Chain A
Amino acid sequence: MSEHPQFEEIFDEYVLGALEGEEKRTLDAHLSTCAGCGRKLEEARERLALMAFAAPPTRPSPAVKDRLMRQVAAATRLRFTPAPVRKRSGFWGWGVPVFAVAAVVLAIITGFLAHRNALIEARLKTLEASEAQFMAAEKQERAGMARAQSIMDVLTSPATLKVSLVPAQAHPAPQGKAFFNPEKGLVFYAADLPQLPAGRTYQLWLVPTHGNPLSAGIFATDAQGNGEVLLPPLPRGVSAKAFAVTIEPAGGEPQPTGKKVLIGAVS
Chain B
Amino acid sequence: MGESKAQLPGVPLHEEGRAADLDLIRRVAQGDESALSILYARYSGVVYSVANRVLRDTGAAEEVLQDIFYQLWGNAANYDAARGGLGGWLLVSARNRAIDRLRRRKPVDTATTEEVIPMACNLESSVAQSELMSRIRSAFDLLPPSQRQAVELAYFEGMTHSEIAQHTGEPLGTVKSRLRSALQSLRQVLKP
Contact = CB atoms under 8 A, between A and B. Distances in A.
A254 interface: no
B133 A49 contact: no
A57 B133 contact: yes
Given A65-B44, A130-B58, A189-B131, A13 B154 contact: yes
A198 interface: no
Interface string A110-141: 00000010011011001100110010000001
Given A149-B142, A177-B131, A17 B160 contact: yes
Interface of B: 14-15, 17-18, 31, 33, 36-37, 40, 44-50, 52-54, 56-63, 65-66, 69-70, 73-74, 87-89, 91-92, 94-95, 99, 112, 115, 117-121, 125-127, 129-142, 152, 154-156, 158-162, 164, 179-180, 183-184, 186-187, 190-191
The 7 closest A-B pairs by CB, nearest first: A123-B59, A191-B126, A148-B138, A47-B190, A148-B141, A49-B88, A52-B91
B46 A52 contact: yes
B57 A57 contact: no
Contacts of B134: 151, 155, 187, 189
A122 B59 contact: yes
Contacts, number: 221
B48 A60 contact: yes
Contact of A67 (B61, B66, B142): B66
Given A54-B136, A54-B140, A145-B141, A177 B127 contact: yes
B73 A191 contact: no
A53 B136 contact: yes
23 contacts: A9-B184, A9-B187, A16-B154, A16-B158, A18-B164, A20-B160, A45-B115, A47-B190, A48-B155, A49-B88, A50-B190, A52-B47, A53-B136, A55-B53, A60-B48, A60-B65, A65-B40, A69-B36, A126-B57, A141-B141, A148-B137, A191-B125, A225-B126
Interface stretch (A70-78, A90-98, A236-244): A70-78
